[in-house]
Structure 1
Amino acid sequence: MSSDPWGRVDETGTVYVRTADGEQVVGSWQAGSPDEALAYFERKYEGLVVEIGLLEKRVKTTDLSAKDAQAAVDHLREQVDAHHAVGDLAALTVRLDKLVETVEARREERKQQRAKQSDEARHSKEALVVEAEELAASDQWRAAGERLRALVDTWKGLPRLDRKSDDELWHRFSHARSAFSKRRKAHFASLDAQREDARKTKERLVAEAEGLSASTDWGPTAARYRELMADWKAAGRAQREHEDDLWNRFRGAQDVFFAARSSVFAERDAEQTENLKLKEELAEEAEKLLPVTDLKAARAAFRSINERWEAIGHVPRDSRPKVEGRMHTIERALQESEETEWRRTNPEARARAEGLTGQLQAAVDKLTGQIEQARTQGNNSRADKLQRELEGRQALLEQALKGLQEFGG
């Protein structure tokens, strides 16, 4: 009979393993010697040691789930408890018990980790929902739309919560996206309607602009084009595919008109510049009539000059006041000469002037006598009053005498 610190084989070939609870039957061995029997069951023990070591390593270094780890421990414990190996089975049990503790610790750690991740995911999703609900009211259609799409990608990358919480948050998130999409759709539908109205308005403006392009009614047509441009700006933008074409037609019609007007105005400016030169020569000729010495000859000469003036035509607008002012000066001088001559040769006016002068002279003489009488009587107050009246009559007399002189009197 052979023996070992952890087991023995009796004379019948029965193999035993020593445990804290006494010897336990391992099995029966009839094929060889007792040493071979012990060696066979010791190898089974070493196999268990290796399996337990591998499981310990997997638990420590891999993401083996607690469930799978516990199943592996239970499987090995069954083999240890079955006493089908010779060796320190109690030591194996201790190692398995420690493994169970490690697995439980890992289970609790992962539970806490999952709880933390879930809490973080909840906060993250709640933040996404709040932001989405704020974006739902935005009118920054492009930026808000891009941000909402980015939020969806972020949501997909977050862990799921419990079904109820996850569904509630997703419902709010989805509702915010739907609200934004509905508002954006309504906005662009309205914008499309506005652009269609703008297109119709601009087509009408283009038609009128093209109809006016051949007009030669320069002033009113130019004014109408300015009104059409104001209407164009007020109409808003049409659809992109129509806007540029409409604008090119509208602008082209104006260009045709204004190019024709510029050509005509350039020709007119040249003609008016030549007219100005001619009128300046006539004004210079008219100015030589002053001072007037022979009224009749001057008037005839001015009449001739004025007829030639009227036949010349328009001059540039900014030069008109100056050159016409020179002619008006000559005309006023001739009129003043005529008025002077008329007053000088008018018998009725001369008679009236002489009569007025005589009346004023008589009044002056009378007041002079009254003043002398009042002073002789010592009535200085009356004398002073009469003196003031005399001064007024003398002033009128001086004016009347000057008027009389104009008649050669």
Structure 2
Amino acid sequence: MTGQDWGRVDEDGTVYVRTSEGERSVGQYPAGSPDEALKFFTDRFDALSFEVDLLEKRIGSGVLSPEDAAASVAKVRASVAGANAVGDLEGLLARVDGLTGAVDSQREAKKAERAERVAAARVEKERIAAAAEELAAGNDWRNGANRLRDLLEEWKALPRLDRASDDTLWRRFSGARTTYTRRRKAHFSQLNEQRDSARAVKERLATEAEALSTSTDWGPTAGRYRDLMREWKAAGPAPRDVDEALWRRFRGAQDTFFGARDAANNALDAEFAGNAEVKEKILAEAEALLPVEDLDATKRAFRDLADRWDAAGKVPRDRVKELEGRMRKVEQAIRGVEDEQWKRSDPEKSARANDVIVKLETAIAEVEAELEAARAAGDARKVADLEGNLASRQMFLDAARRASADFG
């Protein structure tokens, strides 16, 4: 339809627009022709129509929020209603009024979408609060603080709920963070106290270990080092910056002592190598007594060999088991023959075995007394000799006791 279908121009230049309620004056245009006057006011209508077109597109695309869209509709409607323009103003106004329904639909959709987001946010905030409470009740001091910071960032990214619900969940979350932080500080405070206490203990142990490092009282000192090591482990960790330094002091003192002890033992082993050669010759004689033919003669010969064995002294540590085992094997073979004869002899011979036991026990007591005196005097060589003597006599005492037990 043309502008003439919606309006006309009077002789005095007054322009009218036609509506369902009749004609309405929209203004005058006396300076030009009627066609020019009519075009001026239809151009105004076209501008309004373009504005409505643009608003329809913007609302349809969803770029405007429902609130902004409603404000724009009201503004355009005010421009169209009673506009001084020629055209289908009522149709244009109907189009504008139609946009109100679209805005209302969008508002409801936005409301539903927000309700969904809020519901999801409620679930997430309840999860976050529960996770924080679990951390607050636990003892994950290494990772808990970082985890709580992550949970806080998650909380900030979520939309707010209604005020009451949001405040309640926030109090749970914030309270859990406060509880965790307080317990964590208390834990590390206690840990620092324990580490300071451990430092004092380890400083004492390191000092004592260093004082013992030059001792030549090998047995008791080695035992004391074992005690110090148990105390060290029981003390727990000291502060990191001093724990390793204290350990180096403690370990260094140990290494010094045990290195010196090993060197002394190695020197004794070298000295005892000659004793091993003597005992090997004695063993050759002892093993030649087997098989037993004359028990009494064999026993007398073996006792002589045993005395020579004791007199030979200690042997290197790596030879003790081998040599003692061979000597014991000979003694057991003689004992086996003696046991067989014993079983066939008068039980009163058990008195003789008891007499042997008493004599051996007396001799052993004397050797033990000498050994204690040698240890007290720090005479390593004599200690070594007496320990070998004592081991041999104890071996014979064990054999005598087994024999006596058989008679019993």
Between the aligned partners of 1:283 and 1:143, the Cα distance in structure 2 is 70
- In the TM superposition, residue 306 of structure 1 has moved relative to its aligned partner by 8.6
Partner of 2:269: 269
Q: How does 1:323-338 map to 2 (within 5 A)?
A: none
Distance 1:85 1:313, change over 3 A: same
Alignment check: 8 A CA contact 2:137 2:180 kept = yes
Between the aligned partners of 2:60 and 2:306, the Cα distance in structure 1 is 122
Partner of 2:18: 18
Partner of 1:166: 166
Partner of 1:33: 33
Give the secondary structure class of the aligned counterpart of 1:139: coil
Distance 1:109 1:308, change over 3 A: closer
Q: Structure 2, unaligned stretches of length 5 or more?
A: 336-408
- In the TM superposition, residue 282 of structure 1 has moved relative to its aligned partner by 4.7
Alignment check: 8 A CA contact 2:7 2:38 kept = yes
Instruction: Determine whether 1:313 maps to 2:316.
Output: no
Percentage of pairs with the same residue: 50
- In the TM superposition, residue 3 of structure 1 has moved relative to its aligned partner by 7.8
Partner of 1:136: 136
Higher relative contact order (CA 8 A, sep 6+): 2
- In the TM superposition, residue 144 of structure 1 has moved relative to its aligned partner by 2.5
Between the aligned partners of 1:264 and 1:238, the Cα distance in structure 2 is 35
Between the aligned partners of 2:120 and 2:325, the Cα distance in structure 1 is 89
Distance 1:13 1:281, change over 3 A: same
Alignment check: 8 A CA contact 2:126 2:169 kept = yes
Alignment check: 8 A CA contact 1:24 1:83 kept = no
Distance 1:26 1:276, change over 3 A: same
Give the secondary structure class of the aligned counterpart of 1:194: helix
- In the TM superposition, residue 328 of structure 1 has moved relative to its aligned partner by 7.9
Q: How does 1:340-359 map to 2 (within 5 A)?
A: none
Distance 1:267 1:39, change over 3 A: same
Please say which of residues 246-255 and 310-319 is displaced more in the overlay.
310-319
Partner of 1:278: 278
- In the TM superposition, residue 308 of structure 1 has moved relative to its aligned partner by 7.2
Between the aligned partners of 2:208 and 2:247, the Cα distance in structure 1 is 13
Partner of 2:187: 187
Between the aligned partners of 1:213 and 1:244, the Cα distance in structure 2 is 19
What one-letter code is carried by the residue in structure 1 that aligns with 2:44?
K
Partner of 1:209: 209
Between the aligned partners of 2:330 and 2:131, the Cα distance in structure 1 is 82
Distance 1:45 1:213, change over 3 A: same
Distance 1:287 1:153, change over 3 A: closer
Alignment RMSD:
2.9
Instruction: Determine whether 1:251 maps to 2:254.
Output: no
What one-letter code is carried by the residue in structure 2 that aligns with 1:76?
V
- In the TM superposition, residue 310 of structure 1 has moved relative to its aligned partner by 6.3
Between the aligned partners of 1:283 and 1:123, the Cα distance in structure 2 is 89
Distance 1:184 1:282, change over 3 A: same
- In the TM superposition, residue 273 of structure 1 has moved relative to its aligned partner by 2.4
What one-letter code is carried by the residue in structure 1 that aligns with 2:208?
E
Distance 1:67 1:260, change over 3 A: same
Partner of 1:111: 111
The superposition leaves residues 349-395 of structure 1 with CA deviations (integer Å, 9 ceiling, x where unpaired) of: xxxxxxxxxxxxxxxxxxxxxxxxxxxxxxxxxxxxxxxxxxxxxxx
Partner of 1:386: none
TM-score by length of 2: 0.72
Partner of 1:146: 146
Between the aligned partners of 2:72 and 2:123, the Cα distance in structure 1 is 37
Give the secondary structure class of the aligned counterpart of 2:143: helix
TM-score by length of 1: 0.72
Between the aligned partners of 1:64 and 1:185, the Cα distance in structure 2 is 51
Alignment check: 8 A CA contact 2:77 2:97 kept = no
Between the aligned partners of 1:184 and 1:151, the Cα distance in structure 2 is 17
What one-letter code is carried by the residue in structure 2 that aligns with 1:66?
P
Between the aligned partners of 1:115 and 1:60, the Cα distance in structure 2 is 22
Give the secondary structure class of the aligned counterpart of 2:142: helix
What one-letter code is carried by the residue in structure 1 that aligns with 2:198?
A
The superposition leaves residues 90-116 of structure 1 with CA deviations (integer Å, 9 ceiling, x where unpaired) of: 110111011111111111111121222
Q: How does 1:53-72 map to 2 (within 5 A)?
A: 53-72=53-72
What one-letter code is carried by the residue in structure 2 that aligns with 1:266?
N
Alignment check: 8 A CA contact 2:215 2:221 kept = yes
Give the secondary structure class of the aligned counterpart of 2:272: helix
Partner of 2:88: 88
